[in-house]
């Protein structure tokens, strides 16, 4: 059922035509106020207007809803706005259970949710009908020219430059810097527990911090100053609003990142080996420039680099890495919380992990980690996959229908609506993952979880672990309750105590 709610092709009368005047007077006669209306007090007009608005809004909702699941009537005007301010995980479960396609309407925004994996894939793979739905302020905060907002050739140029930064070979050069961060933070975790006299405390904030530090060191290695890792410059100034502070913080981060890009270019010019993402990127730019110079000098034997890219400015590099930071923090922090909580509750799993990791290091826990070791960590990889399935950090990804979107033969998502493919129901589908609420890494080794590619929506439609420390989880009544804080977290903030391993 295609519904065209916004007709942009309405032809307005030409006001310069004389016929317009006579038309207007005829119109005035036709819509002349009935006498009883002219005697109405103001409040009656106001009430009539509000009632008219409520009826209009309700009729629009019913038309847009069509045959899909959702409340028969909308809460007048606002819809479930109050609930949307404090989203409850249980409400999402109920919404997904209501049908493969369901809807809500909050104020003027009509929202269609999918719970079926096939429909979710259809949304993820329909760029002609949908685009990622960002809050309007996102472009101001991240930067209007950031690569994620570019289209066509300009976007492709960035992608070509970025993809080789995530090959196995490139990733292996980031491992030493990551191991340093992990070691530092285990010391911090133990110190936090000691300072709290061994009593459990919420680690949610510290897990955010370790992810921020891991990201920044992976992006910028030692170019980033230790202060910038957690204390963003300018954040001390009085915030008028959160957005005001956010914008200033983003500007300061972008400036620091551009400075790091400059420092990196200077360092790589001395022939240094790449140890972080930005080193790899700059190294590809240097090789591309050398090739272009040789060709310009008439060298017919010049070997074209496998990744021929343009030169990116310090600001472009900084802004791009800022989009990575923005995109990576929530999901990684969510996964970290659940990882430590689940492992503390499942000593059997933790023991197998430790054995496997120690064996990969040849029994020497101080041996630096390298990529061939990762290949041998079958159980570790199964634990990570099971964690991301059991508690997927991202439960859905909001998109905007840029035109009427025939998502099924019976239903067309109206243009301008939000359409939200859900990841959680696919990852807890008992047909794909039997006993889905049980944390069972072995389903990835001896079971057929790996074959359920259609349901694996953890990262949308495609696109380590401690040997040093010990920690205890102090379960509370809220540990297994899920808090939706953009991504998923334990409601009690993850109550842990860290100790050094003897």
Q: Exposed, middle or buried by CB within 10 Å (0-12, 13-18, 19+), for 133? A: middle
From 458, 466, 488, 497, residue interacting with ligand HEM (rule: CB under 6 A): 458
Residue closer to ligand HEM (CB basis): 339 or 377: 339
The nearest distance, CB 421 to ligand HEM, in angstroms, is 8
Residue closer to ligand HEM (CB basis): 436 or 460: 460
Residues pairing with 471 in the sheet: 498
Residue closer to ligand HEM (CB basis): 79 or 490: 490
Helices first, then strands: H and E counts in the chain: 19, 12
The nearest distance, CB 180 to ligand HEM, in angstroms, is 18
Query: Can residue 426 be called a binding residue for ligand HEM (CB under 6 A)?
Result: no
Distance between CA 119 and CA 407 in Å, rounded?
7
Distance between CA 317 and CA 265 in Å, rounded?
11
Asked whether 264 and 279 are in contact (CB, 8 A), the reply is yes
The nearest distance, CB 417 to ligand HEM, in angstroms, is 17
Q: Which of 427, 368, 407, 498 is nearest to 114 (CA)?
A: 407
From 274, 318, 393, 469, residue interacting with ligand HEM (rule: CB under 6 A): 393
Distance between CA 254 and CA 237 in Å, rounded?
17
Query: Can residue 318 be called a binding residue for ligand HEM (CB under 6 A)?
Result: no
The nearest distance, CB 248 to ligand HEM, in angstroms, is 23
The nearest distance, CB 49 to ligand HEM, in angstroms, is 41
Please state, in angstroms and as integers, the Cα–Cα distance from residue 425 to each residue in 279, 369, 441, following that order: 40, 35, 19
Residue closer to ligand HEM (CB basis): 52 or 132: 132
Strand 495-500 vs strand 201-202: parallel, antiparallel, or unpaired? Answer: antiparallel
From 332, 380, 404, 455, residue interacting with ligand HEM (rule: CB under 6 A): 332
Give the burial string for 191-219 (b: 16+ CB within 10 Å, else e). ebbeeeeeebbebbebbbebbbbbbbbbb
From 328, 402, 476, 479, residue interacting with ligand HEM (rule: CB under 6 A): 328
The nearest distance, CB 281 to ligand HEM, in angstroms, is 13
Residue closer to ligand HEM (CB basis): 295 or 327: 327
* Chain Cα centroid distance, residue 155: 19
Query: Can residue 87 be called a binding residue for ligand HEM (CB under 6 A)?
Result: no
Query: Can residue 324 be called a binding residue for ligand HEM (CB under 6 A)?
Result: yes
Query: Can residue 281 be called a binding residue for ligand HEM (CB under 6 A)?
Result: no
Distance between CA 13 and CA 26 in Å, rounded?
15
How many amino acids of this chain bind ligand HEM (CB under 6 A)? 17
Output the 3-class SS for 190-257. HHHHHHCCCCCEECHHHHHHHHHHHHHHHHHHHHCCHHHHHCCCCCCCCCCCHHHHHHHHHHHHHHHH
The nearest distance, CB 201 to ligand HEM, in angstroms, is 24
Report the SS3 class of residue 497.
Answer: strand
Region near ligand HEM per CB under 6 A, out of 103-111, 233-241, 435-443, 452-460: 452-460
Residue closer to ligand HEM (CB basis): 291 or 459: 459
Report the SS3 class of residue 411.
Answer: strand
The first and second tokens of residue 349, run together, are 């799993």
Closest residue to ligand HEM, Cβ-based? 460
From 170, 213, 261, 331, residue interacting with ligand HEM (rule: CB under 6 A): 331
From 460, 470, 472, 484, residue interacting with ligand HEM (rule: CB under 6 A): 460
From 92, 124, 312, 322, residue interacting with ligand HEM (rule: CB under 6 A): 124
Query: Can residue 164 be called a binding residue for ligand HEM (CB under 6 A)?
Result: no
The nearest distance, CB 390 to ligand HEM, in angstroms, is 13
From 323, 408, 476, 479, residue interacting with ligand HEM (rule: CB under 6 A): 323
The nearest distance, CB 369 to ligand HEM, in angstroms, is 18
Residue closer to ligand HEM (CB basis): 131 or 448: 131
Query: Can residue 335 be called a binding residue for ligand HEM (CB under 6 A)?
Result: yes
Asked whether 487 and 211 are in contact (CB, 8 A), the reply is no
Q: Which residues from 347-386 bind ligand HEM, rule CB under 6 A? A: none
Asked whether 394 and 331 are in contact (CB, 8 A), the reply is yes
Give just the sign of the alpha carbon dihedral 275, 276, 280, 282: negative
Q: Which residues from 12-51 bind ligand HEM, rule CB under 6 A? A: none
Residues binding ligand HEM (CB under 6 A): 124, 132, 148, 323-324, 327-328, 331-332, 335, 393-394, 397, 458-461
């Amino acid at each position: 059922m295609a519904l065209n709610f916004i007709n942009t092709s309405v032809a307005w009368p030409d006001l310069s035509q004389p016929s317009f005047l006579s038309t207007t007077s005829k119109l005035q006669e036709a819509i002349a106020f009935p006498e009883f209306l002219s005697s109405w007090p103001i409040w009656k007009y106001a009430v009539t207007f509000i009632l008219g608005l409520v009826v209009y809004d309700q009729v629009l909702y019913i038309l847009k809803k069509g045959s899909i699941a959702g409340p028969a009537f909308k809460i007048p005007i606002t819809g479930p706005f109050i609930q949307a301010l404090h989203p409850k995980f249980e409400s999402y479960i109920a919404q997904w259970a209501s049908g493969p396609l369901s809807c809500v309407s909050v104020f003027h925004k009509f929202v269609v949710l999918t719970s079926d994996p096939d429909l979710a894939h259809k949304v993820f793979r329909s760029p002609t009908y949908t685009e990622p739905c960002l809050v309007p302020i996102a472009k101001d905060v991240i930067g209007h020219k950031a690569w994620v907002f570019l289209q066509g050739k300009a976007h492709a140029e960035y992608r070509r430059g970025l993809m080789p930064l995530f090959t196995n070979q490139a990733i292996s050069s980031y491992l030493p810097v990551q191991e340093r961060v992990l070691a530092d933070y285990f010391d911090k975790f133990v110190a936090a527990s000691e300072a709290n006299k061994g009593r459990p405390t919420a680690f949610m904030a510290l897990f955010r911090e370790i992810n921020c530090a891991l990201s920044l060191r992976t992006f910028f290695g030692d170019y980033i100053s230790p202060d910038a890792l957690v204390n963003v410059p300018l954040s001390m100034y009085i915030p008028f609003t959160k957005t005001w502070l956010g914008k200033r913080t983003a500007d300061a981060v972008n400036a620091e990142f551009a400075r790091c890009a400059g420092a990196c270019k200077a360092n790589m010019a001395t022939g240094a080996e790449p140890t972080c993402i930005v080193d790899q990127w700059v190294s590809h730019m240097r090789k591309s420039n050398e090739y272009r110079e040789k060709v310009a000098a008439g060298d017919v034997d010049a070997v074209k680099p496998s990744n021929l890219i343009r030169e990116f400015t310090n600001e472009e590099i900084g802004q791009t890495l800022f989009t990575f930071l923005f995109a990576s923090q929530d999901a990684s922090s969510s996964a970290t919380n659940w990882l430590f909580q689940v492992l503390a509750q499942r000593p059997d799993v933790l023991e197998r992990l430790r054995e496997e990791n120690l064996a990969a290091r040849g029994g020497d826990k101080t041996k630096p980690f390298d990529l061939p070791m990762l290949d041998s960590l079958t159980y570790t990889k199964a634990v990570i996959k099971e964690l991301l399935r059991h508690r997927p950090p991202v439960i859905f990804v909001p998109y905007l229908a840029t035109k009427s979107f025939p998502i099924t033969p019976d239903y067309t998502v109206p243009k301008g609506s939000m359409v939200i493919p859900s990841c959680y129901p696919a990852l807890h589908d008992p047909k794909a993952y039997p006993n889905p609420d049980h944390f069972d890494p072995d389903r990835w080794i001896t079971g057929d979880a790996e074959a359920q590619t259609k349901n694996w929506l953890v990262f949308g439609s495609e696109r380590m672990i401690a040997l040093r420390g010990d920690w205890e989880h102090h379960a509370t009544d809220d540990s297994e309750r899920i808090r939706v804080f953009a991504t998923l977290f334990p409601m009690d903030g993850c109550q842990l105590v860290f100790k050094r391993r003897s």
